[in-house]
Amino acid sequence: MAEKQGFTSSFGAIAAAVGSAVGLGNIWRFPYICGQYGGGAFLLVYLIFVFLIGMLLMLSEFIIGRRSQHSPIFAYESLSPHKAWRYAGLLGLITCFLILGLYLVISGWTTNYVFDSITGHLAGLSPDQLDSHFASFSSSALRPIIFIAIFLALTALVIIGGVQKGIEKVSKILMPVLVVLLAILCVRSVTLPGASAGLEYLFRPDFSKLTGEGILAALGQALFSLSVGMGVMIVYGSYIPNNDNLLKTSLWITVCDTLIAILAGIAIFPAVFACGQDPAGGPGLVFKILPAVFNSMNPESGLPFGTIFASLFFILLTIAALTSSISLLEAQVAWGSEYHPKHRTRHTLILSAIVLAIAAFCSLSNGVLSHLKVAGSTIFDLIDHINSIYLPPLCALLTVLFTGWVMPKSDIRDELSNHGSLRISYFGIYYFIIRYIAPLALLVVLVTGIINSLH
């Protein structure tokens, strides 16, 4: 049997997991929902959820993964006397698969926008023209699927390269590149005249906009952004070196993920305000409003290099999406490798083909297949709905119940302390939150989500 591969160093493990966490969720989603639900007020609640629940959930997944040395289905099965727990792993895997289907659609858009901005296709278009450019592109049949396929091929190539020579190596290179690109864009954005209004929009707390819905969105966003709840971090946990301090690793990942989300807001909003665009652009902010912002940075307006900044931004977004989709696909491949460790390439190709079909379906439902409705929604919206309301909080709930109530407490202590060699004075707090607070919070999110969706 082939030797199970893991990450070679702490830095490699952190880079790969930060790669998974930092994605479209940070750069595309976080800024617009933060603006929508009251800026600094949302940020405050988000930070509480990220560090209190998200990070400890990540720690729990790392414990399950490293202790069992398995991917989710086998991990749950091997650590519990009740074999039915394997279905918790299966549910996570299904969730990853569906998320990947949608994620690829948006990643395909970002890859297309890299191409469009480098070749100058977006330059000079007015905001209205950019609007219709996006609408006609995203609803066309072939072009989005071609870009999804290009993006997926990149993802698959890295996975075929292996855990060390593919995922770890690529993450160690791409994550620093991402930080540098983001820093360049932040400096450009905050040095534009009138940028301070954007910073105010992002950070000034407006508690009147922070509704109950906003609080639920903050917890949902915290889980999505940290890639927790669906087993990806169980897989990465099984690759973490045995002598790594799991709390430190989780803390690093959480801090990096949160800082990058905030930096993305700093790169986007000041520029949006400085160029007189609408900050409440919602999901279309990145694809419709930002290109208009970059277009207004042309030499005549005294703000040079719009095309270059547009290209850098979409390259940044594509890199972020790539390392996340790698982790989503790796979760599936790791499961296949449990049966046939030598057939990594074959598993990757077969799973890629299946997920390409799902993504193509989702993409077509924005155009040619928009008439095809299930329960009144297009396929894209249906999968999005299932993926945001039901599956992630349910999977996350099962994970915390498993660590808090099923796994022996002594095993958890043993894993967190690296068999007694580390001091874990925080253990009592961790265990209390994972046993009581986190399940309660996740249950509230799940039940409220279900009730709201029935109305």
**DSSP character at residue 85:** G
Least Å distance, CB 221 to ligand PFF, is 9
Nearer to ligand PFF, 63 or 96 (CB): 96
How many separate helices (H) and strands (E) can be counted in the chain? 22, 0
Cα(358)–Cα(354) distance, integer angstroms: 7
Task: Kindly tell me which residue out of 18, 24, 274, 442 binds ligand PFF, with binding defined by CB under 6 A.
Answer: 24
x-or-dash string of contact with ligand PFF, 314-343, rule CB under 6 A: ----------x--xx---------------
Nearest distance in Å: CB 46, ligand PFF? 13
Residue 232 touches ligand PFF, criterion: CB under 6 A: yes
Task: Considering the complex, state which of residue 19 and residue 144 has its C-beta at the smaller distance from ligand PFF.
Answer: 19
Using the rule CB under 6 A, which residue among 20, 250, 387, 388 binds ligand PFF?
A: 20
Nearest distance, CB of residue 18 and ligand PFF, angstroms: 10
- The residue among 256 and 416 lying less far from ligand PFF, judged by its C-beta, is 256
CB atoms within 10 A of CB 64: 29
Residue 374's beta-bridge partner residues?
A: 377
DSSP 329-386: HHHHHHHHHHH-TT-HHHHHHHHHHHHHHHHHHHHHTTTTTTT--BTTB-HHHHHHHI
In this structure, are residues 114 and 320 in contact, taking their beta carbons and an 8 Å threshold?
A: no
- Which of 12, 16, 17, 26 is in the footprint of ligand PFF by CB under 6 A? 26
- Residue 274 CB, shortest distance to ligand PFF, in Å, is 26
Would you say 123 or 386 has its CB closer to ligand PFF? 386
SS3 readout for 379-413:
HHHHHHHHHHHHHHHHHHHHHHHHHHHHCCHHHHH
Q: Which is nearer to ligand PFF, 96 or 272 (CB)?
A: 96
Q: Which is nearer to ligand PFF, 142 or 354 (CB)?
A: 354
> CA 43, CA 91: separation in Å to the nearest integer?
30
- Is 402:86 a contact under the CB 8 Å cutoff? no
x/- track of binding to ligand PFF for residues 415-444 (CB under 6 A): ------------------------------
x-or-dash pattern for ligand PFF, window 90-129, by CB under 6 A? ------x--x------------------------------
Phi, psi of 279 (to 5 degrees): -75, -20
Q: Tell me the closest approach of the beta carbon of residue 323 to ligand PFF, in angstroms.
A: 9
Distant-in-sequence, close-in-space partners of 230: CB < 8 Å, separation ≥ 6: 92, 93, 95, 96, 99, 331, 391, 392, 395, 396
What is d(CA 153, CA 314) in angstroms, rounded to the nearest whole number? 18
Pick out residues in 172-231 that bind ligand PFF (CB under 6 A): 224-225, 227, 230
Task: Give least dist CB 258 to ligand PFF, A.
Answer: 11
In the complex, least distance from residue 21 CB atom to ligand PFF, rounded to whole angstroms: 5
Q: Which two tokens stand for residue 337?
A: 């490798």
Among residues 225, 212, 233, which one has the least CA distance to residue 51? 225
Q: Which is nearer to ligand PFF, 295 or 388 (CB)?
A: 388
Neighbouring-strand partners of residue 93? none
Considering the rule CB under 6 A, would residue 258 count as an interface residue with ligand PFF? no
Rounded Cα–Cα distance for residues 140 and 289 (Å): 20
Taking the complex as a whole, how short is the minimal distance between the CB of residue 97 and ligand PFF, in angstroms? 10
Comparing CB distances to ligand PFF, the nearer of 189 and 327 is 327
Spatial contact of 30 and 112, defined as CB atoms under 8 Å apart: no
Instruction: Work out how close the CB of 118 gets to ligand PFF at its nearest, in angstroms, rounded to a whole number.
Output: 23
Q: Which is nearer to ligand PFF, 240 or 292 (CB)?
A: 240
d(CA 337, CA 357): 22
Nearer to ligand PFF, 224 or 294 (CB): 224
Segments of 174-325 assigned E as strands: none
* Smallest distance, ligand PFF to C-beta of residue 231, A: 7
Contact at 8 Å (CB) between 332 and 351? yes
Residues lying near ligand PFF in the complex (CB under 6 A) are found at: 20-21, 23-26, 96, 99, 224-225, 227, 230, 232, 324, 327-328
